[in-house]
A and B are shown apart, each in its own frame.
Chain A
């Protein structure tokens, strides 16, 4: 179990060093009034100007030391907070990428994102603040309390009587505060969700003149966030006045008790007077403590949300077990695979097929038939419920996920392009040589349009590759898949936006240049899979027909339907 402490621990030493400096600096400042009172009480009446100047200079020197120490301590605190945040954020992002798809689906992407940004921010603030303010105040409070005990233990006990109440107030408010700030964070997620949806759907919203409706929708989440904020802050608002109240109540108690004690000759007025000045010290520092509690509650709420993700199992923790081997002569085999996303209704039922090295499988079927799911299972994004999937005779569950996926080149439906050069989008962080990249672009029929771009391969893509056309995007994605020279290619609807000419050239390139690559092509139209060695026709998660194009066109009605609508092809890019 990871907790915040796991991340704090490596920095305990550095924190301790910083705190020592801070405490030293604080004590130095506390010495100043002592020296001052000595000057006034003893030295000034003596009338020795030299001595006065000397002690004045001592005060100046101590002030300077206090300054240096405090700055050093603050820098140290900032540094520790920076390092801890860097580590937590790194681990969290790492976790987010390695999380199993099932877990990601459960958290939802926006929620993970807000934990990475907003929550780590609050945590950062808390760690820095706690070090800077969280030490001095408690030390002064405790130090002051000890001094009162030295002064008069009985009166100190009277004063101490209010402390349990203070602890109770702080504890109750802080624990409820953490819960409420968790709610604030959730409400914030919902607010952000609406903003995101609007930014993404702005065309539709404007086209449908739904601006008013969206404003209303935002108003709802915004008000809700405001209410949650108010609730949480109100919870915190009571702390300060309540602490103040209890503290002064204790003081009244001390005066009353003191009156009796003095009357009995057990104490002196001077002591009560001194008691008051310590009391001022304690009171001020406790106020600082209670102020910190707001930030602390918010930080802890965020920490909880972060740890929730950090304590999830990821694919890195996946322990590959031994599974019985399949047919070693097959490059790829699905054996009776059944799968359901939500474990309610099967999304795939009894899917079986075999592919030899260099063979190509086409999958076709209606929207929602389960075509993409086949690829997701093959990549081990999800665990199958029944059956087995073999890669070169080895069960895919006996691979570490990264080892398994390294063998594939994949283009998914509406795949992911990011803000960077076109080249980087093709290379995608892999060690791909210039030659390999250019060759891949050539094969993917992308070379020509890239050549026409102003900066060719250094052309900067915008978010999601929005500055390319649909067909261009698909060709960049294909280049990416080809560039790794993978043993297996998985192409999901990856040429739907290409015109006939380009599509034909692409298919030719696939046949000629990648004879040893085993492929699965998921397609919407028959022409893309016509030449496949085997074609699966999927219908509601089951195989309704299989075979070569020539056979299917004769005896599979579903396939005939699809082929009839053959003109579903693209005329233009």
Chain B
């Protein structure tokens, strides 16, 4: 499930080209970095030149030309300073480029996540998503900041050295005409072997992260059942898979370097053999063999260096594949260009013959009709799986219907911008969601211009003001993930307060009071009634207290409305609703 659709398929060329588009955005800096590298390396090349001359100037005992030596040493120092400064500048440039690119990638991934349909988060473990945005992008970063330069400098040296070798001996150079393609093919072959290993490595690490995230969230339950051992045992399996796949990729990847070295050494042996033969045939001088060998070292050194970074590049590519796969997951469909921007709606909602299925062939909602006048409260009740939450999902356009029309103030919501549609609702869900931030920020979330007084007002309305002021930092108390200082019920009160601040015309309450005790619930109920006044409210509820207040109750079963009416009307009907209502007196 964590494997996204396109992960395996994309070829390295496609990945490389896509990575290049990121570098393209900083092409100026990149060119500058390459230039400074070239300049720094050129300066470095002159150092041996000057040192050679200096040694020549030393000569024999008593004949040292000190002035010349000192001048040459000064030149050397100049080159060294030039080289060091430029090398440092190059490093700084590269850091800037790679950090910008990774920050852009993270931003892109994150913003894409926010555009993703809700369904994506329903089906993908958070741990794996996190693994992509942190560890995978990190891997790309590491490779970008070092491997590009390694390869760029390699190319320069290799080409230069090869020209020099050709000039010395065409015949000897032939050896490299054979061995270099050999290296190329071996490297390519290894790349093919290693590629799936690296994607497995990233994949397994993602899985491990998903597991850790999930299990740590249940650590108290695990403790309560004394199941630490069992869970650690399961972790060990995942861990073993992760380290094994890391090992495989690591080991197989590290074979390339020594192999390429081997071929280089072999060509060295061949040079000495062939060179010897050429010497015997008087085709080449000893001195030339010696400098040919010197250049051949310069030639093959960077090649094996480049082959060694191959493993790094492979792991960066498989990481990039995972990141791109996430970026390629389809986002929510874009709004129509002529989509209506809803503003200040009255709150008239209508469902007209709406059909919906999550999975094709398995229809959940069969031709739903529903009309809600502004300011009315509609309770949607019914057994599990009847489709209550689905109705809300469609109303908020988390999911779109297969057929039929949903209208708000007469506008088909498919032709409204999602953003403006959603702004017309405020919503409280069963699962409380607060973020790391102060109470003030959490309550004001969704109403940018709410003042401190506004926040206080709604907190008083849900009767949590006293609790908040009893905290040391009051409204400025920072809520953290595992804040022990606040209970689940209190968290829910805060989310209700948040919804109360919102001045939208429509309200959705999805089992909003399930974590709150009945005394508190009653108080909230009163506040809610106040809040609901003038708002079209949809309540998914299983609690009678909420349901009874509704103007209309829709009893949903298997995707169809089987009964509708007010509480009293439904009781008189003596149908399904009445039978459930009466069950409470049975015990």
B415-437 residues at the A interface, CB under 8 angstroms = 418-419, 422-423, 425-427, 429-430, 433, 435-436
Q: Report chain A residues within 8 Å CB of B490.
A: 367-368
Q: Report chain B residues within 8 Å CB of A104.
A: 219, 482
In the complex, what's the smallest C-beta–C-beta distance from A536 to chain B, in angstroms? 14
CA distance A104 to B545 in the complex (A): 39
CA distance A367 to B587 in the complex (A): 26
Could you tell me if A202 and B121 are in contact, using CB atoms closer than 8 angstroms? yes
Could you tell me if A203 and B118 are in contact, using CB atoms closer than 8 angstroms? yes
- Assuming the contacts A66-B262, A262-B64, A366-B520, asked whether A410 and B384 have C-beta atoms less than 8 A apart, the reply is no
Q: Which 4 A-B pairs have the closest CB atoms?
A: A367-B489, A429-B230, A416-B218, A568-B518
Could you tell me if A90 and B227 are in contact, using CB atoms closer than 8 angstroms? no
Q: Report chain B residues within 8 Å CB of A199.
A: 113, 121, 126, 129-130
CA distance A114 to B547 in the complex (A): 44
Q: Report chain B residues within 8 Å CB of A75.
A: 251, 254
In the complex, whether B184 has a CB less than 8 A from a CB of chain A is no
Counting chain B CB atoms within 10 Å of each CB, the highest count among A36, A47, A79, A234 belongs to A36
Residue from B446, B511, B583 within 8 A of A470 (CB atoms): B511
In the complex, whether A457 has a CB less than 8 A from a CB of chain B is no
In the complex, what's the smallest C-beta–C-beta distance from B420 to chain A, in angstroms? 8
Q: Report chain B residues within 8 Å CB of A210.
A: 445-446
Q: Report chain B residues within 8 Å CB of A565.
A: 518-519, 521-522, 545
B248-287 residues at the A interface, CB under 8 angstroms = 250-251, 254-255, 257-259, 261-262, 265-266, 268-270, 272-273, 275-277, 279-280, 286
In the complex, whether B51 has a CB less than 8 A from a CB of chain A is yes
Contact pattern, B 55-77, Cβ under 8 Å of A = 1, otherwise 0: 10111111110100110010011
Contact pattern, B 460-497, Cβ under 8 Å of A = 1, otherwise 0: 00000001001010000000111011111110110100
Q: Report chain B residues within 8 Å CB of A201.
A: 433, 435
Could you tell me if B384 and A94 are in contact, using CB atoms closer than 8 angstroms? no
B533-580 residues at the A interface, CB under 8 angstroms = 541-545, 547-548, 577, 580
Could you tell me if A263 and B62 are in contact, using CB atoms closer than 8 angstroms? yes
CA distance A569 to B141 in the complex (A): 55
In the complex, whether B385 has a CB less than 8 A from a CB of chain A is yes
Residue from A214, A244, A401, A500 within 8 A of B223 (CB atoms): A401
Contact pattern, A 149-181, Cβ under 8 Å of B = 1, otherwise 0: 000000000000000000000000000000000
Contact pattern, A 320-343, Cβ under 8 Å of B = 1, otherwise 0: 000000000000000000000110
Name the residue on B nearest A102 (C-beta): B484
Contact pattern, A 30-42, Cβ under 8 Å of B = 1, otherwise 0: 0010001001100
Chain A interface: which size bin? Answer: 35 or more
14 A-B residue pairings within 8 Å (CB atoms):
A29-B265, A40-B286, A78-B247, A78-B251, A101-B220, A105-B484, A117-B212, A203-B427, A276-B48, A405-B224, A410-B224, A524-B518, A567-B543, A568-B544
A95-131 residues at the B interface, CB under 8 angstroms = 96-99, 101, 104-105, 108-110, 112-114, 116-118, 121, 124, 128
In the complex, what's the smallest C-beta–C-beta distance from A213 to chain B, in angstroms? 8
Could you tell me if A569 and B584 are in contact, using CB atoms closer than 8 angstroms? yes
Residue from B114, B231, B418, B511 within 8 A of A215 (CB atoms): B114
In the complex, whether A312 has a CB less than 8 A from a CB of chain B is no
Q: Report chain A residues within 8 Å CB of B129.
A: 195, 199
Could you tell me if A472 and B61 are in contact, using CB atoms closer than 8 angstroms? no
Could you tell me if B228 and A94 are in contact, using CB atoms closer than 8 angstroms? yes
In the complex, what's the smallest C-beta–C-beta distance from A498 to chain B, in angstroms? 9
Contact pattern, A 338-358, Cβ under 8 Å of B = 1, otherwise 0: 000110110000000000000
Q: Report chain B residues within 8 Å CB of A93.
A: 212, 232, 235, 239
CA distance A240 to B76 in the complex (A): 18
Q: Report chain B residues within 8 Å CB of A43.
A: 276
Counting chain A CB atoms within 10 Å of each CB, the highest count among B73, B87, B134, B224 belongs to B224
Could you tell me if A259 and B545 are in contact, using CB atoms closer than 8 angstroms? no
In the complex, whether B122 has a CB less than 8 A from a CB of chain A is yes
Could you tell me if B62 and A265 are in contact, using CB atoms closer than 8 angstroms? yes
In the complex, whether B290 has a CB less than 8 A from a CB of chain A is yes
In the complex, whether A45 has a CB less than 8 A from a CB of chain B is yes
Contact pattern, A 388-406, Cβ under 8 Å of B = 1, otherwise 0: 0000000000000110011
- Assuming the contacts A195-B130, A276-B55, asked whether A570 and B135 have C-beta atoms less than 8 A apart, the reply is no
- Assuming the contacts A108-B480, A210-B446, asked whether A59 and B251 have C-beta atoms less than 8 A apart, the reply is no
CA distance A82 to B240 in the complex (A): 9
In the complex, what's the smallest C-beta–C-beta distance from A211 to chain B, in angstroms? 5
Q: Report chain B residues within 8 Å CB of A429.
A: 225, 227, 229-231, 233-234
Q: Report chain A residues within 8 Å CB of B383.
A: 499, 572-573
Stretch of B94-102, B188-196, B368-376, B401-409 on the interface side: B94-102
In the complex, whether B215 has a CB less than 8 A from a CB of chain A is yes
Contact pattern, A 446-466, Cβ under 8 Å of B = 1, otherwise 0: 000100000000000011101
In the complex, whether A272 has a CB less than 8 A from a CB of chain B is yes
The majority secondary structure among interface residues of chain B is helix
In the complex, what's the smallest C-beta–C-beta distance from B531 to chain A, in angstroms? 16
B155-194 residues at the A interface, CB under 8 angstroms = none
Name the residue on B nearest A44 (C-beta): B276
Residue from B96, B259, B279, B480 within 8 A of A67 (CB atoms): B259
Name the residue on B nearest A56 (C-beta): B273
In the complex, whether B226 has a CB less than 8 A from a CB of chain A is yes
A178-197 residues at the B interface, CB under 8 angstroms = 188, 191-197
CA distance A244 to B59 in the complex (A): 27
Could you tell me if A527 and B584 are in contact, using CB atoms closer than 8 angstroms? yes
A224-278 residues at the B interface, CB under 8 angstroms = 225-226, 229-230, 233-234, 237-238, 240-242, 244-245, 248-249, 251-252, 255-256, 258-260, 262-265, 269, 272-273, 276
The majority secondary structure among interface residues of chain A is helix
Name the residue on B nearest A59 (C-beta): B269
In the complex, what's the smallest C-beta–C-beta distance from A499 to chain B, in angstroms? 6
In the complex, whether A1 has a CB less than 8 A from a CB of chain B is no
In the complex, whether A496 has a CB less than 8 A from a CB of chain B is yes
Stretch of B3-11, B20-28, B78-86 on the interface side: B78-86
Could you tell me if A413 and B488 are in contact, using CB atoms closer than 8 angstroms? yes
Could you tell me if B110 and A215 are in contact, using CB atoms closer than 8 angstroms? yes
In the complex, what's the smallest C-beta–C-beta distance from A386 to chain B, in angstroms? 19
- Assuming the contacts A47-B280, A206-B422, A272-B58, asked whether A472 and B522 have C-beta atoms less than 8 A apart, the reply is no
Q: Report chain B residues within 8 Å CB of A525.
A: 517-518
Name the residue on A nearest B111 (C-beta): A215
In the complex, whether A365 has a CB less than 8 A from a CB of chain B is yes
Could you tell me if A82 and B382 are in contact, using CB atoms closer than 8 angstroms? no
B378-403 residues at the A interface, CB under 8 angstroms = 381-385, 396, 398
In the complex, what's the smallest C-beta–C-beta distance from A491 to chain B, in angstroms? 12
In the complex, whether B42 has a CB less than 8 A from a CB of chain A is no
Q: Report chain A residues within 8 Å CB of B84.
A: 241-242, 244-245
A262-315 residues at the B interface, CB under 8 angstroms = 262-265, 269, 272-273, 276, 315
In the complex, whether B88 has a CB less than 8 A from a CB of chain A is yes
Could you tell me if A410 and B580 are in contact, using CB atoms closer than 8 angstroms? no
CA distance A557 to B104 in the complex (A): 60
Q: Report chain A residues within 8 Å CB of B293.
A: 36, 40
Q: Report chain A residues within 8 Å CB of B96.
A: 230
Q: Report chain B residues within 8 Å CB of A40.
A: 272, 275, 286, 289-290, 293
Q: Report chain A residues within 8 Å CB of B518.
A: 524-526, 562, 565-566, 568
CA distance A561 to B522 in the complex (A): 9
In the complex, whether A419 has a CB less than 8 A from a CB of chain B is yes
CA distance A13 to B129 in the complex (A): 39
Q: Report chain B residues within 8 Å CB of A86.
A: 239-240, 243
Could you tell me if A462 and B488 are in contact, using CB atoms closer than 8 angstroms? no
CA distance A364 to B517 in the complex (A): 8
